[in-house]
Amino acid sequence: MSDEELLLDSVEVDYPSLIREALSVDSAEFSCSASLSANGYVWLLTGRKLFVWKFEDEVQIIKSASYVPYLLQLPPSGLPYTVRTIRVFTKARSSAPGVIAVSPEGTIRYWSNINRGYSDSSVDLEREGNEFLLSTTTGSFFLLWLDTSGRAPTPGKRQKMTCGILSRPLYTNARRNIGERMSSLLFGDTAKHGSRLLKATLVEIMNHADEGRSAIDKDSIENHLKGTYIIALKSKAVQLYSIEPSAKMWSVDLKQQAAEHFANHIWNLHSAPEHSKWRKEIRIWLVDCVRASNGIIILMGAANNAVSTQIHFALGYLPINGPEEATEHFEWFCVLKLPSSETFRSTEEDSLADLSLHLPLESRQCWHERTEGLIIVTRHFAHSVRLPQFLQGNTDVGPIHSVSFADDVFIGSACDARFCYVMLKENGISRVRLLPRGFDASLARSISTVHLASHSADDTSEVDRGLLADAFLLFAKTDLRIANERVQNLLELRHSSVAQLCVNYAFDIVDAIPNDERWHAVGVHTRRKSALAKSSFLLKVHLDEQKKKVLAMFVLFIKSMGLFAKLDTTVHSPLSDSRSARSLLAELAEKEQPVTYFDAAINSVLHQREEMLTVDLLTPYDYFFSRLSRVDDLLDALLLEEENLLSANTELSEKLLCIEEVGAALVVFVNAIEQHREQALLDVIFDYLRPRVDGSDRTGSQLRSHVVALSSFVLAQQSHSERLGSPIIAKFINIGEQGIGTDLAKKFHDYRTLIELTETLSDEKRRCEIEQYKSYFNTPEFLKVLHEYYLQKGQLKRLLQEEGPKADEFFSSHSAVNWIREIDRGQFDKASHSLKSLAQRRDDDVVARKNLLSFAKLAALCADEKDAELLDEIKGGLRLVAHQENIPIDVLERTNALSSVSGKMRPMTAEQIISASVSDPRCDCDCHFRALLTLSSVLDEPASRSHSDLIKSLKAKIWLSAIKADTSLWKQLCTGGDGHKRTVYCELLNRLVESNLSDARKLELLPNVEELIGCMTELGRNQRFAFIMRSEEEAARHEVSELTKRRNEQMLRGREIAVAHGFAY
């Protein structure tokens, strides 16, 4: 998506009235915070009052009572509460949620059901699956379990019970008295402990020995907690704690290495002695972190007081390899240039506490261009950061977009699986959305459903139109990713032109007539029942303004979904049959602009009628068109306005424009009247003629002659394309006058009707009739219509029997059937080229591409002269498809290669197959060997020499991934031993040596060891690691050479034996 902007998309519903009342306090005394969770609940905190309600859409609220907020009282405390120590959770078989709230002093208040009382006591529980992590600012951690069994607690009473919560210390910084503990909570940790806790989160790190273990062991909480760890972000370091047993596993001080990165990238300060005094002035703040991939992304700030007090920000990615060994260096570091006017100063470092980092689960699982990516929220701005696909080195992030809410009071921010939300005092809850520039978020909020009147002539077009309408509705509701999937499904399944679909839909938008509720508001009911349902989105605001908005949104939808390039095709429309869809959409947009002459003419007519325009809801247009019997007054008024303008002292260009627009309006009036009268009169006569087919009635005979004359007049005024399949001629045939219909079809060249009439004949008579028509018309247009008819009806046998230059021209422009004709004629070499070209263009279905390539291979093998180069290209394409089919389904789903709508798998390039293979979560020798085999197929291609740089890059990527798969094991083995034989790197070397590939190819695929060591900066400095890398590669290379030597010796001995026995070799 080329041009985007960050918007606040307000949710469908406002705050409940009770929340609005709580927020209506004086701004000087206003102090509250809020958050929401993925289970759909929002909680707002003001003092000791906690409000909880379900975040639902507008339709669900009508049927639900959960939108009314619950009001809960928190335990007394001398310190302020924070939403971070409150959690709302849901339980199976319960419609109401539960709540846990922890006071700063450590009192835990637990509502097992929000409709019941609370309990402040700790209880014993050993079999509950719900877990909550409680952390204090001093770096102490407690784990809370929930239970739903047993009796309910007595409200407000502290007691020992068999149900409720269990608080278990995991890791504590012990204090001797309450005074020291409160001091730590207020002012952070002392120098003894060195760092204040900023954020803690639970993660699961599974060992190979634990992979068969179920997620929850019913017999023991200790077994359940194995493999679960706590990542703690402190003000100076990142630490990992285990839960079972309770212990600190490792700690990494990040401030020093962050300072090195900031010094190099911001202030260009290196390790030179003359820069030391400047580097000492650098201050570092760790602000927030989120889980991403197999590690965490950390938001950091830095300021150099020797230069300025301004704080600069950056993101760093720290992989979490396991509990045994910490990753001591950032794998990715990028300085951010936030495009807002908001500035943070080192003298006001408390303001950093207002920054938060969010990464919705959908953005975390796939770096999709239609997601918002990483969201940074401050008190006045939200920033969207598109992360690079690979978090390595100093790769820059994508464009950063910002949206301001400085004119409102910020309450809180949070995210669920899909979106990041911002909660504001006045504007309520809003999603932070990255949308195409010009997107009307207010219009998206007002759209509930689209039920425009259909103008499709057949069921297949209606199916296509339904897919387009569905995609547009999803787009208007800001669900761009699913809308794009619907569009792709439309492109796969459509039966009609995309340009024609878009134009028809645009005309539906512009020409639709709603049940206008403004008339009902003043007690007047519409005289004409609309084709739209009452829920139509065109009822929300004034009709003209809404049509402009919807049409502009539809054009934006076309551009955003990549359909704009398909609008150059000539399409049929009420305006013209010889113009492109793009020009017609442009004209519709122009027609939506107000014309002053029409406004003046309307006002003039109403003044003559002495209409009183007293109701604000109605416009002059409403009053004018309320009296359809006087609509012709507009013609006189328009001519009068034209005469007045021409006689006035105005510019010549303005006079010419007036003549053009008024003349065009009059032409539209005349055409509409003629078309209506002609069609209406013909319908009346045909209805009268239907029961009088035999012609015995004298009146019927006269009417028959009249309708033939009228029909001839109408057909003569129509264009050639309008006469094909003429409904007027079809009516003669339907009433039994086939002779008259045939004569009219011949006279006015309605080729399609004549061809359709031959379908009722026997095959021999049909062929004779078609040949007579070819001789009778003797025009290329008849042959073109005939060939298109055969293709449309799927009559390939008849189509293949067509001969001549026009048939050759038709087949050459329809590659989907041209290859069948070439095979039918025995032109296998041409058919193989056509099939290969067709397969390359088939980028939506890998199975279809495989079938086309297989047919191309068979055709090439059947050719009299084999084209070796073509065969190699076809085999290369088939090998690539085979490599893609070997990728596990879960990996393909992760890379978006499978369509969620059609279930088809799109073909992938060699680079995409290799990337998917090395990103396999199993990260074993098999997936890396698949990647090497794919690379080997690339090397077989004749064009591989021109892509040497790409091939080198792909090979390095495969071997780097193999090394990184065992990073923690490499660190352990660097001290000695031969355990490195178990690494993926060594297994992959052995697998390559033992494979069936040629010896020359094996040598080509062996890694460039020095390049790999240079890339592994953390391990490359370890001499033993470098020695193992070189020695294993050298051993593999030597073994390949030995295999080649032994194979050559065997061939030589075989030749000598053959010669000795008198055989020619």
DSSP string computed for 856-910: HHHHHHHSSS--HHHHHHHHHHHHHHHHHHTS-HHHHHHTT-B-TTT-PBPP--H
Q: Could you report the per-residue pLDDT of 968-998, keeping only the tens digit for each?
A: 777 776 556 677 788 888 999 998 988 888 8
Question: Peptide bond preceding 245: is omega within 30 degrees of 0, i.e. cis?
Answer: yes
φ, ψ of residue 254 to 5 degrees: the values are: -100, -15
Average pLDDT on 771-784 reads 90
First to last CA, the chain: 65
Interstrand relation of 165-171 and 420-424 (parallel, antiparallel or unpaired): unpaired
Enter the tokens of residue 544: 């003209």
Q: How far apart are CA 1063 and CA 1065, in angstroms?
A: 6
Which residue would you say has higher pLDDT here, 488 or 432? 432
φ, ψ of residue 10 to 5 degrees: the values are: -60, 140
Which residue would you say has higher pLDDT here, 544 or 558? 558
Q: How far apart are CA 416 and CA 11, in angstroms?
A: 14
- In this model, does residue 15 exceed pLDDT 80? yes
Three-class SS of residue 695?
coil
Spell out the residues 6+ positions from residue 482 whose beta carbon is closer than 8 angstroms to its own: 474
Question: What single string gives the DSSP state of each residue in 466-491?
Answer: HHHHHHHHHHHTT-HHHHHHHHHHHH
Q: Report whether 811 contacts 818 (CB < 8 A).
A: yes
pLDDT band per the 50, 70, 90 thresholds, residue 357: very high
Q: How far apart are CA 167 and CA 160, in angstroms?
A: 12
- In this model, does residue 351 exceed pLDDT 80? yes
Amino acid in the structure at residue 484: N
Q: Report whether 291 contacts 275 (CB < 8 A).
A: no
Q: Report whether 278 contacts 267 (CB < 8 A).
A: yes
Nearest CA to 1006 out of 985, 1022, 1025, 1023 is that of: 985
Arithmetic mean of pLDDT over the chain: 76
What counts of helices (H) and strands (E) characterise the chain? 41, 28
Which residue would you say has higher pLDDT here, 850 or 600? 850
Q: Which residue has the tokens 């062996």?
A: 1006
Q: So what's the pLDDT on residue 480?
A: 83
Q: From residue 358, how far is each of 38, 221, 365, 417, 674 by CA, in Å?
A: 13, 31, 14, 11, 63
Binning the chain into helix, strand and coil, the percentages to the nearest 5 are 50, 15, 35
Q: From residue 804, how far is each of 696, 772, 791, 811 by CA, in Å?
A: 48, 16, 17, 11
Enter the tokens of residue 479: 């669900």
Question: What single string gives the DSSP state of each residue in 490-526?
Answer: HHHH-SS-HHHHHHHHHHHHHH-----HHHHHTT---
In a 13 Å sphere around the CA of 40, the CA atoms on its Cβ side amount to 12
φ, ψ of residue 859 to 5 degrees: the values are: -65, -40
Q: How far apart are CA 640 and CA 601, in angstroms?
A: 8
Residue 262 CB neighbour total at 10 angstroms: 25
The count of residues in the chain is 1065
Q: Could you report the per-residue pLDDT of 387-418, keeping only the tens digit for each?
A: 887 888 888 888 899 999 988 999 999 988 88
Q: Report whether 456 contacts 440 (CB < 8 A).
A: no
Average pLDDT on 76-97 reads 81
Q: Which residue has the tokens 């055989």?
A: 1063
Q: How far apart are CA 817 and CA 812, in angstroms?
A: 9
Residue 725 Rama label (left phi>0; alpha psi -120 to 50; beta): left
Q: So what's the pLDDT on residue 121?
A: 58
Residue 840 CB neighbour total at 10 angstroms: 14
- In this model, does residue 745 exceed pLDDT 70? yes
Nearest CA to 296 out of 215, 210, 230 is that of: 230
Q: So what's the pLDDT on residue 391?
A: 84
Q: Report whether 395 contacts 388 (CB < 8 A).
A: yes
- In this model, does residue 455 exceed pLDDT 50? no
Q: Which residue has the tokens 């071997």?
A: 959
- List, in sequence order, every beta strand (DSSP E) within 958-999: none
Cα 263 to chain centroid, rounded: 38
Q: In percent, how much of the chain has pLDDT > 70? A: 74
Question: What single string gives the DSSP state of each residue in 4-60?
Answer: EEEEEEE-SS---HHHHHHH-S-GGG---EEEE-TTSEEEEEETTEEEEEE---HHH
Q: So what's the pLDDT on residue 162?
A: 37
Average pLDDT on 782-798 reads 89
pLDDT band per the 50, 70, 90 thresholds, residue 615: low
Q: So what's the pLDDT on residue 383?
A: 93
Q: How far apart are CA 657 and CA 652, in angstroms?
A: 9
Enter the tokens of residue 156: 């407000």
Average pLDDT on 263-283 reads 78
Q: So what's the pLDDT on residue 973?
A: 67
- What CATH number labels 817-908? 1.20.58.1380
- In this model, does residue 127 exceed pLDDT 50? no
Average pLDDT on 157-165 reads 42
Q: How far apart are CA 837 and CA 856, in angstroms?
A: 9
Three-class SS of residue 84?
helix
Q: Could you report the per-residue pLDDT of 639-676, keeping only the tens digit for each?
A: 888 888 788 877 887 777 777 777 777 777 766 666 65
For 304, the enclosing helix (H) or strand (E) is strand 295-304
Its sign, for the CA torsion 307, 309, 313, 319, is: positive
Q: So what's the pLDDT on residue 671?
A: 67
Spell out the residues 6+ positions from residue 763 whose beta carbon is closer than 8 angstroms to its own: none
Q: In percent, how much of the chain has pLDDT > 90? A: 10
For 299, the enclosing helix (H) or strand (E) is strand 295-304
Q: Report whether 97 contacts 89 (CB < 8 A).
A: yes
Which residue would you say has higher pLDDT here, 1019 or 911? 911
Q: So what's the pLDDT on residue 136?
A: 52
Residue 172 CB neighbour total at 10 angstroms: 13
Three-class SS of residue 627?
coil
Enter the tokens of residue 354: 């207002």
The DSSP secondary-structure symbol of 426 reads: T
Q: Could you report the per-residue pLDDT of 919-974, keeping only the tens digit for each?
A: 888 888 999 999 999 988 888 887 777 778 888 888 888 998 888 888 777 777 65
Q: How far apart are CA 862 and CA 857, in angstroms?
A: 9
Kindly give the interhelix angle for 780-792 and 805-812, rounded to the nearest 10 degrees: 50
Enter the tokens of residue 773: 């028509």
Average pLDDT on 352-381 reads 78
Spell out the residues 6+ positions from residue 576 whose beta carbon is closer than 8 angstroms to its own: 584
Least confident of 495-499, 632-636, 940-944: 495-499
Q: How far apart are CA 896 and CA 813, in angstroms?
A: 33
Q: So what's the pLDDT on residue 681?
A: 53
